[in-house]
């Protein structure tokens, strides 16, 4: 695209965005320009709000990750049955895994039992690593600070994109509505002109 073409397109865009005192600008053009300006400005104003939302999410997730890291610990569980591959539940590092009943020791010394994820083919008595909470119940591994940062970024980006999408769709809907009204008006004017020319 040449510089002159780029300048022409930019000029048209600016004229549509700021019709000003253009004598040929219609009321619908000014309404559309105002909404288009809002559709551009609102997402820009939403940037610091989305950033603040992401920051708040990170602080909350980071505190939760620290709490989980201090209250959860990794332990060893012993399989109570063979890990027979009947209905695989997931793939871990390219290996098929199944849920198997296992036993582990709680902090107070009492045994704890439940389902754990083990690699298919392990025999009864094999050991697997599990995460436990302070009461000795099996839980998910604690969240990491990297996960907290990722979740915060996802929240901020999703919030900003949602605002941007709503603004874009609002302008597009108004543009389509006004375009339809303008075409109908033009058709009526052409019909009236045709009747005047033919004396109808």
| pLDDT value of residue 150 | 96
| pLDDT value of residue 152 | 96
| pLDDT for 49 beyond 60 | yes
User: Quick check: 32 and 175 in contact, CB under 8 A?
Assistant: yes
Token digits for 24? 């040929």
| 90/122 Cα distance (integer angstroms) | 15
User: Quick check: 100 and 83 in contact, CB under 8 A?
Assistant: yes
CA 12 to chain centre: 34
Domain boundaries, the chain: 28-66+146-194, 73-141
Band (pLDDT 50/70/90 cuts) for residue 121 is confident
| pLDDT value of residue 7 | 54
| pLDDT for 79 beyond 60 | yes
| 178/187 Cα distance (integer angstroms) | 14
Q: Residue 96: which residues within 8 A CB-CB, separation 6 or more? A: 85, 88, 119, 120
CA 106 to chain centre: 39
| pLDDT value of residue 175 | 82
Band (pLDDT 50/70/90 cuts) for residue 144 is very high
Mean pLDDT along residues 160-188:
86
- The full length of the chain comes to 200
Q: How far is CA 130 from CA 7, 108, 133, 164, 186, in A?
A: 64, 17, 10, 43, 73
Mean pLDDT along residues 116-145:
90
Reported as a single tens digit per residue, the pLDDT across 9-45 is 555 555 555 555 555 556 766 777 788 888 889 999 9
Band (pLDDT 50/70/90 cuts) for residue 5 is low
User: Quick check: 149 and 50 in contact, CB under 8 A?
Assistant: no
User: Can you tell me whether residue 74 is helix, strand or coil?
Assistant: strand
Mean pLDDT along residues 89-116:
81
């Amino acid at each position: 695209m040449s510089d002159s073409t780029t300048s022409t397109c930019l000029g048209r865009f600016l004229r549509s965005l700021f019709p000003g005192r253009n004598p040929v600008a219609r009321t619908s053009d000014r309404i559309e320009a105002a909404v288009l300006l809002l559709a551009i400005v609102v997402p820009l104003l939403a940037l610091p709000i989305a950033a603040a939302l992401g920051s708040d999410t990170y602080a909350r997730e980071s505190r939760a990750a620290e709490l989980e890291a201090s209250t959860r610990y990794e332990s060893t569980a012993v399989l109570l049955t063979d890990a027979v591959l009947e209905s695989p539940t997931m793939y871990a590092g390219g290996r098929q895994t199944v849920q198997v009943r296992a036993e582990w020791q709680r902090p107070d010394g009492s045994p704890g039992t439940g389902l754990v994820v083990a690699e298919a083919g392990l025999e009864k008595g094999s050991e697997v690593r599990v995460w436990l909470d302070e009461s000795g119940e099996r839980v998910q591994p604690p969240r990491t600070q990297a996960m907290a940062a990722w979740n915060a970024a996802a929240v901020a980006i999703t919030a900003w994109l949602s605002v941007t999408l709503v603004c874009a769709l609002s302008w597009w809907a108004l543009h389509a509505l006004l375009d339809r009204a303008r075409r109908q008006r033009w058709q009526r004017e052409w019909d009236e002109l045709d009747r005047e020319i033919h004396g109808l």
